[in-house]
Amino acid sequence: MVAASLRERALSVLETVTDPEIPVLTIADLGILRDLAVHGDTVEVTVTPTYSGCPAMNMIVVEIETALARAGITAKVRTSLSPAWTTDWLTDAARRKLAAFGIAPPEHTTSRRALFGEAHPACPLCGSADTEQISEFGSTACKSLHRCRACREPFDAFKCH
């Protein structure tokens, strides 16, 4: 019973930890929070980065440790690269939050067109599908820069992995 209570407390805390690059998304929204195990009075949190060189992961680990420590929970954070993260792990809430934040979310199911840069994300500002990629890299490495041909506004699109 105590382990279940500690697990529930820890999960509740982790639901507040956000991505430093996209602060409208929690680590749970992103799907990078992979597991939480209780070992005595310590929780072991397993996270998977969006890609192996993600510069935000160090900060995310610090934020996880800090949030849990503030709640009086002793934690160990472990990074797992396998299985590799995919945009299919984004929650529906994450996709809605990305669009509301002005970032085009990836399609639900990764397609070959998206993987080879042939997909055109809908503009999160006006909804038009008439968009073009300006740069493979956007404001962060996990996003690409696009422009809407309808409203002429630039926007980031979350890259398909």
Q: With left for phi above 0 and alpha for psi between -120 and 50, is residue 103 left, alpha or beta?
A: beta
Residues 13-30: what's their mean pLDDT?
95
For the chain, domains (ranges, CATH) are 2-79 (3.30.300.130), 91-158 (no CATH)
**Predicted local distance difference test score (pLDDT) of residue 109:** 63
**pLDDT digit string, tens, across residues 114-158:** 555 567 899 999 999 999 999 988 888 888 999 999 999 999 998
**pLDDT digit string, tens, across residues 42-56:** 999 999 998 888 889
For residue 116, count other CB atoms closer than 10 A to its CB. Answer: 9
Q: Are 114 and 107 in contact (CB under 8 A)?
A: yes
**pLDDT digit string, tens, across residues 79-127:** 999 999 988 999 999 999 999 999 999 876 655 555 555 678 999 999 9
**Predicted local distance difference test score (pLDDT) of residue 113:** 52
Tell me the pairing of strands 154-158 and 42-47.
unpaired
Average pLDDT, the chain: 90
